[in-house]
Amino acid sequence: MGLSRDFFQRLFDFVDHKHFPWIEGLAAQYGIANTKKKAQTIFRQEAATICAKVLAEAGVYKNTPEGLREMITFLEQVGFQA
């Protein structure tokens, strides 16, 4: 499975140049031969994974049951799938 060639190209056109290594890593990991829909799913999942790491390290959500529920709600809204 891989990112679609079209989706990959649009990412390069859209994102800041500092993100190129990340995009190249996605292409290396998933290839560039997937459908547009699957490529978007891969991108959202990978971006959500990064967001989860940032939020966990930043301590944005309290380490309580309520904070955990709020963080899970946010992650689901940005496309993270557990």
Is position 58 within any domain?
Answer: yes
Is position 9 within any domain?
Answer: yes
Q: What is the pLDDT of residue 13?
A: 73
pLDDT at 26 over 80: yes
Cβ atoms of residues 76 and 39 within 8 Å: no
Other C-beta atoms within 10 Å of 51: how many?
16
Fill in the DSSP letter of residue 8: H
Q: What is the pLDDT of residue 65?
A: 92
pTM of the model: 0.58
Fill in the DSSP letter of residue 79: T
Q: What is the pLDDT of residue 3?
A: 62
Is position 82 within any domain?
Answer: no
Q: What is the pLDDT of residue 46?
A: 92
Cβ atoms of residues 26 and 10 within 8 Å: no
* Residue 44 domain boundaries: 5-77
Q: What is the pLDDT of residue 24?
A: 84
- Total number of domains in the chain: 1
